[in-house]
């Protein structure tokens, strides 16, 4: 399985943020806690044997489902 480097994730995150007006929010946590929760979910998804042979999209989807279970929601920012 090919792993994406942290710098690649940072570039992807930057590009998505530049093209988007959405953000992840949590009712009880500050915004800077998202990275820690996301990384934990990503590591948990990467350990799932069912996802180790799959596409990167399956891993991303599993990570996003996990982050949503943690209470994070993606909302559209008001401009």
Higher pLDDT, 66 or 8: 66
Question: Among candidates 11, 16, 70, which has minimal Cα distance to 39?
Answer: 70
Q: Specify which residues 78 forms β-bridges with.
A: none
Residue 46: Cβ-neighbour burial (10 angstroms; 0-12, 13-18, 19+): middle
User: At residue 1, does pLDDT exceed 50?
Assistant: no
Higher pLDDT, 64 or 2: 64
User: At residue 10, does pLDDT exceed 70?
Assistant: no
Could you tell me the CA-to-CA distances from 58 to 10, 26, 52 in Å, in that order? Answer: 19, 24, 9
Q: What average pLDDT does this structure show over 8-16?
A: 63
Query: What tens digit of pLDDT does each residue of 14-52 get?
Result: 666 555 588 999 999 998 999 999 999 999 998 988 877
Question: What average pLDDT does the chain have?
Answer: 82
Token output for 73: 């929601």
């Amino acid at each position: 399985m090919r792993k994406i480097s942290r710098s690649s994730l940072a570039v992807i995150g930057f590009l998505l943020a530049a093209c988007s007006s959405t953000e992840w929010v949590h009712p009880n946590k500050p915004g800077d806690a998202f990275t820690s929760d996301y990384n934990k979910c990503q590591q948990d998804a990467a350990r799932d044997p069912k996802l180790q042979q799959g596409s990167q999209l399956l891993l991303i989807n599993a990570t996003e489902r996990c982050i949503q279970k943690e209470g994070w929601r993606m909302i559209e920012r008001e401009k």
